[in-house]
Amino acid sequence: MEILIKRGNIRHLEILIIVLGLFTMASLAQADPSETSDEPNATESAQEVMSPDAENVQDDNNNFDSSNYTLGPEDVIEISVVKHPEFSGTYTINLDGKIQYSFVGDINIVGMTRRELEEKIKMTISTYVVSPEVNVKIVEFKSKVFYVLGEVGRPGKYNMRSESITVSEAVIMAGLPTVAAAMRKTRIITPDINGSTAKEVDLYSLLYAGDLKENVLLHSGDYLYVPAAVTESAGDMQEGNNNFDSSNYTLGPEDVIEISVVKHPDFSGIYPVDLEGKIQYKFVGDINVTGMTKRELEEKIKTIISAYVASPEVNVTIIEFKSKVFYVLGEVGRPGKYNMRSESITVSEAVIMAGLPTVAAAMRKTRIITPGVNGSTAKEVDLYSLLYGGDLKENVALKPGDTLYVPAAVTESAGDMQDSNNNFDPLEYTLGPEDVVEISVMHHPDFSGIYPVDLEGKIQYKFVGDINVTGMTKGKLKNKIKTIISAYVASPEVNVMIIEFKSKVFYVLGEVGSPGKYNMRSESITVSEAVIMAGLQTVAAAMRKTRIITPGVNGSKTRKVNLYSLLYAGDLKEDALLKPGDTLYVPSTVMAKLIRVISPVSTTVGLAAGPPATIGNSKAGISNLVK
């Protein structure tokens, strides 16, 4: 991961150097007009790509030039009339495209440029002011937006300060591409009445080779999508499964959509889908959108508003995807819960979103766990072959509710023992006080939520009250929840996930990197995983003398473990199990103990008689004593 991070920093540094270089060349060219010629050169190209003052771009495309910006709803303008502050002020354009101007009333300014509005204001106030001098300034640009998504530093929605914006400026605003970006496969997606159209852009050639034909324009509503490199390597599979394609995404509770009706801002707006799967649409009321795609909702809105608007042009954008989730757990950079932007997502994109596997990951033993009415099913995936060998048959799809689990290598190396004892398997973990569970009921978020187990071993469940979950596994709790809510929901699909394991602890003490108390994610844990969690043994460890201490009513019991044989010789019979409350103690060697006793004494004597004591000096002293 450090290598990836360093590579990412280098890539960003390279791009920034190129950008700064291009800006510098542009400035030099403008500073010395006497040296310009009719032949194109690198400086002129640089001006076209990056400089906001580049004349060629301004004249032809009007980018970065707000004088040609056409005003729209939610823009904020400042009108100044020289020597007449009573006619001056700041005005927000309302959803009807109008401003409430002093002494005049409503003025419709949608589609006007600054210059055109200045002339309109002059004409309007000329009955009150002789030869008025009017200045209009746009102080907030809000009516035109574009989106940059995918592998960039700051993906999201951005406001436009002109009628169009180049790819180069858009990607710089979004924080430049990440190390995982497939820059040559960048796409501009333009929504349209008849569906979205996509155009490929070679972002690498633009940023690194200065290829200006790739510096195309984005217009209001466009999306610049920079995919992940590993995603694009599986291109054929993507086309067949429609992954990463929100046009097939079906809406559900908690999604947020933006409805745009061309030239009719009164019918436009942003709408969250409520827990019943409905939106509260202007002038109409509740509309049930559950299960609809963007296209289907667009057609429904057209039908609804056709009584008010002739031939309405409707565009629907999903701006927050919240109704479908999946989980990535285990040995990844950022384990947790993730939202889906499509009906399914491939293993490759899921693991990239979760920060890629760690160095401790058993990638060949990755599993997809799918919850079901009759219990969970698991499917193995060879993540190593997918990411490093390009084996696309391993790039299978995850559905909403699925969990991608990447186990630890030391866990999987003791596979036979794991199978027989069910270690590291949260399915067999029994709940107790201070654990935290997440209950998900498909299509019923009102019965879903996150619940901590209190000190009495109970959760406070919605609409029901206290439920005692002590000693239950995930499977047992799932069945209990099904039984409870079956009175309210027909054939409920329930999934239970333990998101914090706190009720069971063990201790690792002595000569380890991070001695202390640790939480258990299963009913037991092997010595190998315990010592890895504690940072492995130190150089002073007497590994062959390691002990497991188990407390009991009649006193503690002790078992010896040869940690050296386990970790260096692969002797699995030494990979014993720790239960909740057990302590793994790794003692110091006799030499280490002697050095710690003698070193302070040797140091004190050495202040008067010789050089300060070191471990080497102490060892020599011990040898002399023995002789």
The secondary structure of 254-299, three-state, reads CCEEEEEECCCHHHCEEEECCCCCEEEECCCEEEECCCCCHHHHHH
Q: Is 49 helix (H, G, I), strand (E, B) or coil?
A: helix
**Residues in CB range of 273: below 8 A, 6 or more apart:** 251, 252, 253, 254, 255, 256, 257, 279, 289, 290, 323
- Which of 3.30.1950.10, 3.90.1150.10, 3.40.50.620, 3.30.390.50 is the CATH number of 70-140? 3.30.1950.10
Query: Residue 546: its pLDDT value, please?
Result: 95
Domain formed by 505-588, architecture: Roll (3.10)
What's the rounded Cα separation, in Å, for the pair 455 and 451?
13
Query: Residue 202: its pLDDT value, please?
Result: 92
CATH number of 250-320: 3.30.1950.10
Query: Residue 198: its pLDDT value, please?
Result: 81
- Which of 3.30.360.10, 3.30.1360.200, 3.10.560.10, 3.40.640.10 is the CATH number of 325-500? 3.10.560.10
Residues forming CATH 3.10.560.10 domain(s) in the chain: 2-64+144-227, 325-500, 505-588
* Domain 2-64+144-227 CATH assignment equals 3.30.390.50: no
Query: Residue 599: its pLDDT value, please?
Result: 59
Residue 324: both structure tokens together: 């479908």
Query: Residue 274: its pLDDT value, please?
Result: 87
From the first residue on, what is the mean pLDDT of each consecutive set of 10 residues in the chain (627 residues)? 44 53 43 36 35 36 65 92 90 89 86 92 89 92 87 85 90 85 86 74 87 91 80 40 63 89 85 88 86 91 88 88 86 84 86 82 87 77 83 88 81 40 60 90 84 90 85 90 86 86 90 88 85 84 92 88 84 88 90 68 52 42 35
What's the rounded Cα separation, in Å, for the pair 178 and 23?
22
Residues forming CATH 3.30.1950.10 domain(s) in the chain: 70-140, 250-320
Q: How many residues does the chain have?
A: 627
What's the rounded Cα separation, in Å, for the pair 550 and 579?
8
Query: Residue 27: its pLDDT value, please?
Result: 41
